[in-house]
Every structure is written in C-alpha cells, then in structure tokens.
Structure 1
Amino acid sequence: MKNVMKLSAAAVLAAAFGLTACSSAPEAPAPAPEAAVTSGVDAAAEAALPDAIRDAGVIRAAAGIPYPPFILLDGEEQSGLDPDLARALGEKLGVEIKISHQAFETVIPSLQAKKFDIIMSGMNDTVEREGTLNFIEEIYAGFSIVVKQGNPEGIKTLEDLCGHPVAVQKASAQLTLLEELADTCAAEGKGELVIQQLPTAQDPQTALKAGRVVAFPVDAPVAAYTVATAGDGKDFENVEDPEHPAGINPVYTGIGTLKENTELTEALRLAMQALIEEGVYQDILESHNLGHLATERAIVNGASTEG
C-alpha cells in the first residue's frame, strides 16, 4: 500500500511540474497586421461619414460572390478588384469595409431593408438604377460577347445573336439589352433570340461550355478574365470589336449607396478621390489588368451626369 501511495505522490508531483512547465511556455505570437496600402485616413472623408457608421467602425457591403475579377473566393479568403478597393477605401475612411455574399438580383432590396450599407458587386450604373441608388464609379467599361473557342457560329456583332439561344445573368444590364434585341430580331424576321436568365455569374459560361447556348454577353472585365482562365484559356474567346477597345456600349460600374444616404455617398467619393490622387487607385486597377478602364477623378452617377 505504501508503494502505491509513493507512486501516486510521484505522479502528482510530475503532473504539477508538467502543468508548471506548460504554463510558463511562451505563447504563440499574434499574426502581424497587414501593411497599409495608403497613406492613412483622409480627414475630410472620415468627417463626412454618417455618425452611425463611424461609431460602428464598419461599412457592410453586399456582393454576389464570386464575380471575377471583381471578387473571387478561395476558402474564406476574398480577392479581386473590390476587396482591394474596399481595403484602401476603408483606410481612407478609418473604418472596415466588410464584403458579404448576397444574391445579385437581391442586392438592392438588401440595402433597402438596411441589411447592408453599400453594394460592391461590379454593378453597372444606369439611369434607371440611379432612381434608387447613387453610384461612386470604379471603372468605365463596356461589355463583350463570349463564344466558344473558334467561334463556331461566326458571331461578329450583337445582331448575329438573332436566331440563337444566349445566356445572361439575372438582373444584369445586358439582360435589358438582349430583351430589346429580341424585339428587333422578331420585327426584322431574323429568328427568335432565346434568352436564358441564370442566377449566378458562372452559370452563363457553364451553359456555353455545355452547348446549351452559343454565346453570353458580359461586362468586358469579366469577359477578359473568363476567356483567360477558363480551361486554361482554351474554352472561350471574345468577339473582338476594334472600334470599341473598352467594350461595346461602355458604361460606368460603381459602388452603390441608397439615394437618400448622401453622407455616405460623399464620404466614399472623397475617399476615392484621395486614392486617385495618391496613385493607389490606378495601382489597384493595374494589378488586375484593368488600368485602361480607370476614371480620371471620383465620379458620382456617371450615367446621368457624364452622358
């Protein structure tokens, strides 16, 4: 019995020493904060923020994810044009801009329901949308027509889509254009244009690869990324239009805020202007091969004010 007691005491002492050793072990160092990409807070932009956002320390951004090259997802890690701009704008405003997923066709209702503060989803600025939103413009670009590699249907212009099935993402600006084209195709006897409206940005390319459609029109930055990356660049090609190097029917694409949220609109405009003046804005666009689509100054509601 004594031997048992001695062993138990020894075990207790060993455990005690073990706990002491563990408690004195150095803690793992905290991860180093990411280096700043700008010169820091812009006083005017920060002062323009609504008090509620300044107090919360965060701007909640809605985005249909993924939507390359605007936003991509690798596990939980976001990358792309909008996350990079969000980080830089956040530094200028002194708050975090946090991007979360919201189906693209519901991003505007999500702002109206106060679930989010802004839209950062590669949304085209249109006069119709300006009835509900203000846009702080990110880029000026048109759209391209993506076809299978080799362009088997010989698509050269938008009108060549008459008589064929095409795909488009729901609620996109290209949908309105295709609906107008469908009326023209029918009126001129060029055959029915069958429009497949699909929920996510990736669905049209899936439909094209599967042969369910002959083409899909999409914003030029998205088209360029898709053509360069899908199937290691072997699946698709762009219909080239030498007269429109920035794409057909170029429009502004920007960050959306609710029309009545004028303080936040102005804060974002000032922050964007600060990025432009520092050269950070151009650097971010260049890093995503979008430098030729830059604006020279921070613009609000380019669709109506810039023509």
Structure 2
Amino acid sequence: MKLKLLSFAAILACGLGPIAHAAEGELVIGTEGAYPPFSMADANGNVTGFDADVGNAVCAKLQLKCRFVVQAFDGLIPALNAKRFDIIISGMSITDERQKQIDFSRSYGEFPNHFIAKKDSELAGAKDLDTLKKDLGGMRVGVQAGTTHAAYVEKNLPDAQLMTYDTLDQMQIDLASGRLDTSFADVTAQNDFLAKPDGADFQLVDVVIDSSSDATLGTGLGIGIRKDEAELKERINQALCDLGADGSMKAASEKWFKMDISQTCK
C-alpha cells in the first residue's frame, strides 16, 4: 500500500492552478484517485472518473490545460491551502466545517447515502432511520477518513464502533472479510461494491440518508477553492453553470453513475 500511495503522489498529466497557474494557462486539480467511480488513478498516474470528467470540462470552458495531483482525501484541504494545487475536485461535499478552512464553488451535484449490510442480517431489514440507528448500536461501522460520512456516524451513532479507512478499497476489503458489520458511503460507492463478486451477499439498507438528514452531510458537491481566490471562484461558477445548461454535467453523471446527480443554476 505504501508503494501504491507513493506512485499516486506523482503529478498526473492534466490541470489548472491558482491565479498564478491560471495566468500560465494551467489549472492544477487535487483529487483522491482512489474512490470509484468519482476518481481512479492507475499506476501511470492517469486519472479517470466523474471528477476527472468534471475537471476536464471546467478546464475546457476556462480555456486552460488540466493537470491532476493525487492526494489522500483527508489531506486535500491542507494541501490546497499549502498551494500544492489550485482547486479540489474530489466528490467533496460543501459543509460548514470545511468552509471554515476553504471556499467552495456553487453546488454541482448531490446524491443519497446508504448503509450496506449482509442480506441475511437484521440490519438489512431496517426500514426507517430510528430503527436503523438502534440496530447499529455496538456494530463495527466502516467509513472513509475525513468524509462527511465519518462526521455523520461520529455525531449520530455514539454507540457504534467507528472504523476509519484511508481508501474505499481498504474499507471494502474489511467489509467483505467480515471485519466490518456495515459501511456508510454515498450510493454510487456502495453500488460499486455491490457490483463486485465480493458484494454478492450484501445489499443496500433501504433507508435513504441525504443532506437534509443532518448538517454534517453538507449541501451538495462543490469545487474546493482557497479563500483568497475570488476571481477564480467566479470563473469556475460560470463554467459550472454553462456545463449544467449544455447538458455536459448530466452526461458525465449518467456515464459514471447511471443516474443524474447534477444540479443546474437557477
């Protein structure tokens, strides 16, 4: 895993940067690279996924080159503020806590969140949030570190055993091996696991948990921008509105998620 992370840390070919990079015709984008189908980085440092498509589309609207830098999710905000890259596009939800550290673009997408469980478990039969919370007491719940899902479980499930992971792959391995009772993530990540052989004996718990359920889950996906980049933020917001209006965001969403999570400007 250390070798994998080191290879991911290499700068990838594609990006825009802060105002300085934008002036040079390049936008440098920080992304996780290990959260399918949002972003996946191969051994050669090539990034694909929904985040990559959004980043490339934004760069095209701004007439800039894209370059991606892969960074562990919980290190994205510190790295942005350290000016390692210019913006973050990494399935990051806009939350009050994150807005204390960085600014965000307008929201460009939102999706529901679900727990996942073995098909024959009591947890799989939960049909409402109160029952689900009660059933989760004492269970080993897997989440990715630094995410809104981790914040939600920590706040709302004090009796659960919170297990955090650096990557989605690590969490899914422990879920499949029985070292977790359940995991909590967005529906796209959970469906990715269910589509694998290891996910054959699992199902989504039939309780949708969206941003209206708790403030820890944020107000939709946003592009992370440093607080002193007002001009760049304005340009990115306009690009997102244009991508929503011309159907590009909807097309990228349906390509990677088989559903439309995009939000358009009103």
Q: Is TM-score (shorter-chain normalized) higher than 0.5? A: yes
1:83-132 CA distance string (max 9 Å, x none): 11111111100112222211111111101111111111111111111122
Asked if 1:279 is matched to 2:247, the reply is: yes
Q: Secondary structure at the match of 1:124?
A: coil
Partner of 1:200: 167
CA distance in 2, matches of 1:180, 1:55: 43
Partner of 2:145: 170
Judging changes above 3 Å, is the alpha-carbon distance between structure 1 residues 151 and 62 closer, same or farther for their aligned structure 2 residues?
farther
CA distance in 2, matches of 1:233, 1:247: 26
Partner of 1:53: 21
In the TM superposition, residue 151 of structure 1 has moved relative to its aligned partner by 4.2
Q: Which runs of 5+ in 1 are unaligned?
A: 1-48, 186-192, 299-307
Asked if 1:261 is matched to 2:229, the reply is: yes
- Equivalent position amino acid for 2:254 in 1: E
Q: Secondary structure at the match of 1:52?
A: helix
Q: Percent identity?
A: 27
Partner of 2:85: 116
In the TM superposition, residue 248 of structure 1 has moved relative to its aligned partner by 7.8
Partner of 1:86: 55
Judging changes above 3 Å, is the alpha-carbon distance between structure 1 residues 64 and 95 closer, same or farther for their aligned structure 2 residues?
same
- TM-score normalised by the chain length of structure 2: 0.81
Q: Secondary structure at the match of 1:179?
A: helix
Judging changes above 3 Å, is the alpha-carbon distance between structure 1 residues 221 and 254 closer, same or farther for their aligned structure 2 residues?
farther
In the TM superposition, residue 143 of structure 1 has moved relative to its aligned partner by 1.2
In the TM superposition, residue 289 of structure 1 has moved relative to its aligned partner by 2.8
Partner of 2:9: none
Q: Which runs of 5+ in 2 are unaligned?
A: 1-16, 127-131
- TM-score normalised by the chain length of structure 1: 0.71
Partner of 2:67: 98
- Matches for 1:1-307 after TM superposition, within 5 Å: 51-76=19-44, 77-136=46-105, 137-148=107-118, 150-155=119-124, 156=126, 157-183=132-158, 185=159, 193-228=160-195, 230-231=196-197, 234-241=200-207, 244=208, 249=213, 251-289=219-257, 291-297=259-265
Q: Which structure: larger Rg?
A: 1
1:44-101 CA distance string (max 9 Å, x none): xxxxx97523332211111112111101234433221011111111110011222221
1:186-214 CA distance string (max 9 Å, x none): xxxxxxx1111111122211111111110
Q: Secondary structure at the match of 2:96?
A: coil
Partner of 1:41: none
CA distance in 1, matches of 2:87, 2:205: 33
Q: Secondary structure at the match of 1:259?
A: coil
1:253-289 CA distance string (max 9 Å, x none): 2211112211111111111111112111211111123
Judging changes above 3 Å, is the alpha-carbon distance between structure 1 residues 272 and 151 closer, same or farther for their aligned structure 2 residues?
farther
Conservation of the 8 A alpha-carbon contact between 1:50 and 1:263: no
- Equivalent position amino acid for 1:97 in 2: C
CA distance in 1, matches of 2:198, 2:18: 45
Judging changes above 3 Å, is the alpha-carbon distance between structure 1 residues 50 and 108 closer, same or farther for their aligned structure 2 residues?
closer
Conservation of the 8 A alpha-carbon contact between 1:64 and 1:121: yes
Conservation of the 8 A alpha-carbon contact between 2:39 and 2:47: yes
CA distance in 1, matches of 2:94, 2:183: 20
Aligned residues between the structures = 239
CA distance in 2, matches of 1:252, 1:50: 23
